[in-house]
């Protein structure tokens, strides 16, 4: 739990949002270390203050659930992210788009399905959806740019259904929601739940919004959930996967696949997750999660994996929530109760790794090698400018790059019979002295040496 002063500041921020944006009801929560540290509610649902178990529609947050189901199939070897859609869901006019492009909204596919406004009308079957799509459904060349596509996730839901031989929502329930304990996340509402409203722009009156089963388009925004369940989802996105997904797969999903707003990006998209860069009291942070909107509802859930915190809010209004409520709540937490760093403690380091620590040279450029937990290594330029990467140990005695320029590349320690040693990093040779003549530097070393 947070301190009383922190809770008051958070509740005030939520109260301002609900009052000034004229929202019938809102709930919000901050998650820390996998638990709800603060929960707040304003407004009324059926005359009562909404609770942690009050359902709201979460809209496109549904897409993150579908994306995890797709990645589970990938991890099982049942599909490849580079597979064209046609390999698994044949017959669409965008069959050449890859699974990865659909997940990252870079397939070029149109944003909305053909026909009436799908979010306010009953859905159609998958066969009817695909049959109504034509060449015009491809708005851009696949891979060219970011273009958000609800249709793309409708097709991904069908992919999941075909690969599992079960409805996509059943797959999500059995493989994701149930293992995470998210039992109040459902395709249709159950009591207690908020009713979706439109708020008149110039008067304090409400108009109920329709709610339908969207069938083929349901994977793009069908689900309902609660603050308690979304708090568990925020913990999942932050890294508490509970064996639903491999941690390295989740990290892959949180990597930027495309950015929305140019070179100094603040918004991007990974594999099924929206990404945001935000600078607050604790400095810059990168958030992963998703927003959601359906007629009558708005929702948001974000997680900061680096700090192990998350934030969410749910509201039953079609539009009107203003300002960065989510990051403001995280900023209040960071300002009032900044996390303490973990205590430093000495660790056991194998002698063969300890011998490798210290300066190395790529040509004349000095680098420093440090030991990380679990026999990991870090190689960084002394100047702070250049190619820095972390490496994870492999069973065969080599290391694989985790990030930076050398991500996925192999690092080897090469020892000669006379006691010499050098690092071979994807053909680049690192030596203990600049251009050490005792090491087989590619191209050789001038025998006259430095002069």
Q: Taking the domains of the chain in order of start, what are their residue ranges?
A: 4-336, 351-430
Q: Which two tokens stand for residue 204?
A: 């304090």
pTM value surpassing 0.85: yes
401: CB partners within 8 A, 6+ apart = 389, 390, 391, 407, 408, 409, 410, 411
**Tokens describing residue 317:** 């209004």
Dig out the tokens for 289 from the structure: 């999660």
Predicted confidence at residue 136, as pLDDT, reads 85
247-302 tens-digit pLDDT? 999 999 999 999 887 777 889 999 999 999 998 877 889 999 999 999 999 999 99
b or e along 415-446 (b: 16 or more beta carbons within 10 Å of the residue's beta carbon)? eeeeeebbbbbeeebbbbebbbeebbbeeebe
Spatial CA neighbour of 389 closest among 422, 426, 346: 426
What is the tens place of the pLDDT at every residue in 150-176?
Answer: 999 999 999 999 999 999 999 999 999
d(CA 179, CA 161): 19
State the average pLDDT for the chain.
95
The neighbour count for residue 137, using CB atoms within 10 Å, is: 18
Hunting for tokens 């994807």 — which residue is that?
426
Phi-psi region of 320 (alpha: psi -120 to 50; beta: other; left: phi over 0): left
Among 314, 74, 106, 121, which Cα is nearest to 217's? Answer: 121
Residue 48 forms beta bridges with which residues? 45
Per-residue pLDDT tens digits for 318-354: 999 987 999 999 999 999 999 888 899 999 999 999 9
Provide the terminal-to-terminal Cα distance of the chain, rounded to the nearest Å.
Answer: 66
Q: How far apart are CA 108 and CA 21, in angstroms?
A: 34
Could you report the per-residue pLDDT of 104-140, keeping only the tens digit for each? 999 999 999 998 999 999 999 999 999 999 888 888 9
User: pLDDT tens digits for 393-442?
Assistant: 999 999 999 999 999 999 999 998 777 899 999 999 999 999 999 999 99
- pLDDT > 90: what percent of the chain? 89
Q: Which residues of 384-395 are buried (b: 16+ CB within 10 A; e: fewer)?
A: eeebbbbbebee
Q: Give the per-residue pLDDT at 328.
A: 96
Dist CA 254 CA 439 (whole Å): 40
* Architecture category of domain 4-336 in CATH: 3-Layer(aba) Sandwich (3.40)
Looking at residue 419, its pLDDT comes to 78
**Of 61, 71, 58, nearest in space to 103 by CA:** 71
Rounded distance between C-alpha atoms, residue 114 and residue 131, angstroms: 10
């Amino acid at each position: 739990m947070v301190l009383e002063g922190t809770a008051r500041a958070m509740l005030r921020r939520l109260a301002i949002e609900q009052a000034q944006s004229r929202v019938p009801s809102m709930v919000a929560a901050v998650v820390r270390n996998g638990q709800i540290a603060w929960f707040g509610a304003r407004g009324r649902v059926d005359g009562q203050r909404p609770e942690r178990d009050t359902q709201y529609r979460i809209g496109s947050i549904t897409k993150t659930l579908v994306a995890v189901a797709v990645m589970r199939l990938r991890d099982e070897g049942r599909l490849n992210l580079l597979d064209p859609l046609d390999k698994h869901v044949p017959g669409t006019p965008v069959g050449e788009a890859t699974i990865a492009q659909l997940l990252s909204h870079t397939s070029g596919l149109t944003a909305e399905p053909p026909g009436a406004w799908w979010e306010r009308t009953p859905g159609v079957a998958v066969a009817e959806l695909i049959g109504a799509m034509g060449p015009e459904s491809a708005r851009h060349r696949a891979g060219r740019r970011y273009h958000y596509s609800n249709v793309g996730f409708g097709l991904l839901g069908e992919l999941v259904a075909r690969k599992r031989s079960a409805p996509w929502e059943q797959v999500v329930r059995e493989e994701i929601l149930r293992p995470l304990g998210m039992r109040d996340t459902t395709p249709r509402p159950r009591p207690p739940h908020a009713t979706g409203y439109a708020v008149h722009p110039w008067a304090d009156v409400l108009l109920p919004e329709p709610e339908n089963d969207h069938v083929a388009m349901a994977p793009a925004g069908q689900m309902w959930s609660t603050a308690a369940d979304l708090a568990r989802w925020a913990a999942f996105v932050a890294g508490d996967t509970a064996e639903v997904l491999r941690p390295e797969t989740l990290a892959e999903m949180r990597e930027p696949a495309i950015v929305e707003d140019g070179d100094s990006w603040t918004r991007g998209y990974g594999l099924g997750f929206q990404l945001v860069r935000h600078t607050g009291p604790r400095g810059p942070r990168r958030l992963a999660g998703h927003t959601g909107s359906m007629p009558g509802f708005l929702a948001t859930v974000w997680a900061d994996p680096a700090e192990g915190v998350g934030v969410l809010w749910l509201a039953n209004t079609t539009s009107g929530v203003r300002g960065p409520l989510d990051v403001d709540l995280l900023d209040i937490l960071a300002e009032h109760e900044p996390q303490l760093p973990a205590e430093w403690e000495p660790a056991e380091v194998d002698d063969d790794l300890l011998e490798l620590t210290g300066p190395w040279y790529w040509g004349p450029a000095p680098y420093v090698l440090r030991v990380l937990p679990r026999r990991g290594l870090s190689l960084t330029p002394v100047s702070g400018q250049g190619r820095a990467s972390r490496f994870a140990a492999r069973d065969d005695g080599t290391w694989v790059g985790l990030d930076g320029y050398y991500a996925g590349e192999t690092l080897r320690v090469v020892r000669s019979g006379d006691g010499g040693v050098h690092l071979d990093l994807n053909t680049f040779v690192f030596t203990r002295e600049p251009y050490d003549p005792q090491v087989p530097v590619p191209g050789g070393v001038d025998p006259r040496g430095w002069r």
